[in-house]
Structure 1
Amino acid sequence: MNKKILFTGGGSAGHVTVNVALIPYFLEQEWDVTYIGSKDGIEKEIITNEFSQIPYHGISSGKLRRYFSWKNFTDPLRVMKGFMEAYSTIKKEKPSVIFSKGGFVSVPVVMAAKMAGVPVAIHESDFTPGLANKLAAPFATKIYTTFPETLKALPEEKAVCAGAVIRKELFEGDAKQGRRLADFHSAKPILLVMGGSLGAKKINEAIRTNLSELLKTFQIIHICGKDNVDPSFNQEGYRQYEYVTSELPHFLAATNYVVSRAGSNSIFELLALKKPMLLIPLSKNASRGDQIINADSFVKQGYALKLEEEELTNDSFLLAIRQLQEKRQEMMENMDKSSGAMTIEEMFLQLTSMRKTGKSK
């Protein structure tokens, strides 16, 4: 019986996180695992670092834009090339099922899978489907969603709400180890700042501009994105990182408060770990507005506070941080009442059933 799965997804860490959660379980069950991503995207760095034993196949990828750009005329050619490369890889690897987390690179892979006759499961994290997953949906066998409201925008016969898929290693962090790694102590609370894998300029600026004031109350772990570490700010109680992997569970275990973007994967992980959060979603000027919707949902349920990027000033930021401290207990009580999500084991069983039947159940 063929036990081989191919994963795809990329463009940002959010389009790799669920894959990183699922891959170890398949490896433990002695499945052959392979990955298709872009040739130089962040997914290549993450997958090759985390799973050196997995074959990684880089393909051409074009960005799918909702605005005018001259690259809109050339990127379709890259997508077509990526489709041919993906089809060739699928025929060579012969996976029995494909799992796509989304992102631009996944579209030609899902299309090629349909042509190759391989069942495909897509995971959509956000409240509203992204453009890549909208394009890929007709070619998919099953579509998992994080938010139940997302089902309304997808084919009823394919879509199922699975909730968030949480990496099990996040629950295995040790707070003492987290403080030791950051050279912190236990006498002052820790504020973890996450701007996403690519960083967030305005969040980085807000932290550094208000650093002296924040350090009166907190020790700060600042994950600021690639090439965004600024050594001139190095000082006691403040640690900067471009991106963290093995350290993250320990940092989260030690963390008392979080400032974050509002990507679905990240905020559901923070919810599962019961971390009070201030969300600063990407603005509509820089995105399709999905993070704003995600943040609004969490605010409505009492899991988080939200500060719009357009309203981000020194005063508004410090006020929001004070409110976060005041509402910490209330948020944690609300998080205790949150509903569970599909376990990795449950998703594993559904994906393996696709392999056996060639269709979703």
Structure 2
Amino acid sequence: MSQSTIVFTGGGTAGHVVVNLALIPEFINEGYEVHYIGSYEGIERELVEGIDGVTYHGIATGKLRRYMSLENMKDPFRILKGVMQARNIIKKLKPKIVFSKGGFVSVPVIMASRMAGVPSIIHESDYTPGLANKIATNFAKYILTTFPETNEHLPHKKAINIGAIVRDELFDGDLTRAEQFTGFTKDKPTLLVMGGSAGAKSINEAVREALPDLLAKYQIIHLCGKGKLDESVKQTGYIQFEYVTDELKDLLALSDVVASRSGSNSIFEFLALKKPMLLIPLSRQVSRGDQILNAESFKKRSYAQVLEDEEVTSESFVKSVNELYNNRDQYKQNMETYQPLKTKDDVIKLIKKTMK
């Protein structure tokens, strides 16, 4: 087992899982025994547990909050329990390496890997490292970055700018499957709206209020977030889902333009697929500002149009979508130089090279 086992970790949001989902099939296909350590009930369990060839292990986790809360007093004990649970799992499995995508669940796993003498690699997608990865970096061998500027915030000897990791399956989207799934056709352009796995209240409200104007020109696929469906809104040409997994590649194939939050994993997937994008980053009032920096970077490189969350109304949303669609050919042309596949191969090579 020790010669062929690899452990993945990361969770809390879908963004802290999707990179692992891109890498896991490669190692399964090469005969590795693959294990995943995550929280008991997080979204990572939902996304990973059903994958053939992966064994999932749940551990206790704390949440690394940047705000005052009584729960902050309990979290050190949860994290300590998670460290001990992860350490026992790692000592039993004897993996060659641990690979982390980040999120609060990854901190005890990376700490435990260091205690067990197993090297670990972290991947940071955002422009600036999150709190969990900042802590975990102290115990990891390397931290891989998507944006070159991120290296300025990390230890020089550990930081490697390697780029975005994009799932191969996204390139296999099928128009026929998408049309069957949605009931849409190519007679009208399709707008895909994504507010993240937790949903986005401002985007959801703007889209639904703007439906009369939007539906005059577009078909709309609305991924509104868990528990955010509005069953009272039913119109021809508009379809809503809480969240999709396997169907996403097909929906992207059908989509002409995308409106989305600006989590790094998603926007690099849109870039790889040459999808013109309207980015609506989370505001600094409810985040550390990483999505704002991600969006600014893409806007600077003329990959995306940006609408600030505080400026989202039904009118501004319609105006921005129309501008994006009218300029879609220019955005696609700007994206042509981006080559997404080499990064994943480089990451796999580094993982193998770092194995104990």
Alignment TM-score > 0.5, same fold = yes
- Where 1:232 maps in the other structure, the secondary structure is coil
Structure 1 residues 277-286 or 233-242, which shifts more?
233-242
Please show how residues 1-361 of structure 1 align to structure 2 within 5 Å: 2-49=3-50, 51-338=51-338, 340=340, 342-355=342-355, 358=356
TM-score (norm 1): 0.96
Q: For 1:78 and 1:108, locate their aligned partners in 2 and report how far apart those are by CA, in whole Å.
A: 9
TM-score (norm 2): 0.97
Structure 1 residues 263-272 or 208-217, which shifts more?
208-217
Structure 1 residue 182, shift from structure 2 partner: 0.7
Structure 1 residue 89, shift from structure 2 partner: 0.8
**Residues 63-85 of structure 1: per-residue CA shift (max 9 Å, x gap):** 11111111111111111111111
- Where 1:33 maps in the other structure, the secondary structure is strand
Q: For 1:295 and 1:110, locate their aligned partners in 2 and report how far apart those are by CA, in whole Å.
A: 29
**Residues 85-125 of structure 1: per-residue CA shift (max 9 Å, x gap):** 11111111111100000000000100000010001000000
Residue identity opposite 2:67 in structure 1: Y
**Residues 31-79 of structure 1: per-residue CA shift (max 9 Å, x gap):** 0000000101000000013x14411111111111111111111111111
Structure 1 residues 14-23 or 243-252, which shifts more?
243-252
Structure 1 residue 327, shift from structure 2 partner: 1.7
**Residues 316-344 of structure 1: per-residue CA shift (max 9 Å, x gap):** 11111121112211111100123556432
Q: For 2:11 and 2:54, locate their aligned partners in 1 and report how far apart those are by CA, in whole Å.
A: 16
Q: For 2:339 and 2:293, locate their aligned partners in 1 and report how far apart those are by CA, in whole Å.
A: 19
**Residues 235-258 of structure 1: per-residue CA shift (max 9 Å, x gap):** 221111111111111111111010
Q: For 1:160 and 1:324, locate their aligned partners in 2 and report how far apart those are by CA, in whole Å.
A: 34
Point out where structure 2 has 5 or more consecutive residues left out of the alignment: none
Q: For 2:136 and 2:210, locate their aligned partners in 1 and report how far apart those are by CA, in whole Å.
A: 43
Q: For 2:7 and 2:337, locate their aligned partners in 1 and report how far apart those are by CA, in whole Å.
A: 36
**Residues 159-189 of structure 1: per-residue CA shift (max 9 Å, x gap):** 1111100000000111232122111011001
- Conserved in 2, the CA contact under 8 Å of 1:192 and 1:222? yes
Q: For 2:120 and 2:102, locate their aligned partners in 1 and report how far apart those are by CA, in whole Å.
A: 12
- Where 1:99 maps in the other structure, the secondary structure is strand
- Conserved in 2, the CA contact under 8 Å of 1:97 and 1:354? yes
Residue identity opposite 2:260 in structure 1: S
- Where 2:54 maps in the other structure, the secondary structure is coil
Identity %: 54
- Conserved in 1, the CA contact under 8 Å of 2:113 and 2:119? yes
Residue identity opposite 1:90 in structure 2: I
Residue identity opposite 1:330 in structure 2: Q
Point out where structure 1 has 5 or more consecutive residues left out of the alignment: none
The root-mean-square deviation of aligned C-alpha atoms, in Å, is 1.2
Residue identity opposite 2:244 in structure 1: V
Q: For 1:340 and 1:242, locate their aligned partners in 2 and report how far apart those are by CA, in whole Å.
A: 28
**Residues 192-239 of structure 1: per-residue CA shift (max 9 Å, x gap):** 011111111111111111112111111111111111112211222111
Residue identity opposite 1:149 in structure 2: E
- Conserved in 1, the CA contact under 8 Å of 2:49 and 2:56? yes
- Conserved in 2, the CA contact under 8 Å of 1:164 and 1:341? no
Q: For 1:327 and 1:17, locate their aligned partners in 2 and report how far apart those are by CA, in whole Å.
A: 29
- Conserved in 2, the CA contact under 8 Å of 1:127 and 1:294? yes
- Conserved in 1, the CA contact under 8 Å of 2:144 and 2:159? yes
- Conserved in 2, the CA contact under 8 Å of 1:122 and 1:143? yes
Q: For 2:179 and 2:320, locate their aligned partners in 1 and report how far apart those are by CA, in whole Å.
A: 25
Structure 1 residue 345, shift from structure 2 partner: 2.6
- Conserved in 1, the CA contact under 8 Å of 2:127 and 2:150? yes
Residue identity opposite 1:37 in structure 2: G
**Residues 122-159 of structure 1: per-residue CA shift (max 9 Å, x gap):** 00000000000000001001111000111111111111
The size of the alignment, in residue pairs, is 355
Residue identity opposite 1:87 in structure 2: R
